[in-house]
């Protein structure tokens, strides 16, 4: 079997170029599952009354379609030194999924305006964690000024993702895995 990774001069450089040229709206994947009990909600932003009054929240929690299936959505992402920052409401399905399982993936697509099957894209996988929203406010709003309308809402959290590995597709037939050490290199 041919090792296409050896044909790529610097795969990490391709990943960095994709990140650097991202438009800030990325596909974001989570592992779905029923929401935990509101009394065990680790964000502390929603009370049991808030959640029980939220019909969409109850629907999500009791919907079998959300039990372990991959879930994909579109999110605003700001990058600082190639570290992603994602602003999400506690009321979204993908945030509820992170409560149960913080493994996520981000798809950075560098194929716009190109032959899609022969252009680079990367799926970055890692674990999401909440960071101090106030500390990163200016950076995020500089990249997404429209988020100023809701950035300071109490139910919005800022997350980052600590990457563990990635799947780079550098063009047709040139797909391979990169581990954390390679991504950090």
Q: Give tens-digit pLDDT for 51-62.
A: 333 333 333 444
Q: How many domains, in total, are found in the chain?
A: 1
Among 60, 52, 147, 153, which Cα is nearest to 99's? 60
CATH number, domain of 71, equals 2.30.110.10
Q: DSSP class of residue 37?
A: P
Its pTM stands at 0.75
* Ramachandran quadrant class, 42 (left: phi over 0; alpha: psi -120 to 50; beta: rest): alpha
Among 149, 112, 122, which Cα is nearest to 11's? 122
Q: What is the pLDDT of residue 30?
A: 78
Whether the predicted pLDDT of 3 surpasses 90: no
Residue 160 sits in which domain range? 4-184
Residue 26's pLDDT band, with cuts at 50, 70 and 90, is confident
Residue-wise pLDDT tens digits, 80-107: 998 999 999 998 888 888 888 899 998 8
Whether the predicted pLDDT of 108 surpasses 70: yes
């Amino acid at each position: 079997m041919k090792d296409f990774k050896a044909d790529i001069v610097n795969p990490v450089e391709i990943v960095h170029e994709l990140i650097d040229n991202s438009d800030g709206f990325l596909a974001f994947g989570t592992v779905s599952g029923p929401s935990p009990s509101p009394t065990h909600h680790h964000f502390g932003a929603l009370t049991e009354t808030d959640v029980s009054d939220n019909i969409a929240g109850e629907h999500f929690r009791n919907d079998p379609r959300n039990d372990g299936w991959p879930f994909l959505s579109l999110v605003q992402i700001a990058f600082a030194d190639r570290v992603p920052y994602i602003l999400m409401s506690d009321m979204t399905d993908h945030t509820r999924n992170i409560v149960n399982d913080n493994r996520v993936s981000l798809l950075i697509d560098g194929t716009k305006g190109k032959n899609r099957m022969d252009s680079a894209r990367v799926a970055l996988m890692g674990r999401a964690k909440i960071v101090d929203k106030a500390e990163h406010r200016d950076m995020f709003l500089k990249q997404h000024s429209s988020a100023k309308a809701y950035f300071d809402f109490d139910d919005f959290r800022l997350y980052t993702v600590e990457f563990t590995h990635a799947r780079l597709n550098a063009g047709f037939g040139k797909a391979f895995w990169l581990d954390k050490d390679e991504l950090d290199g």
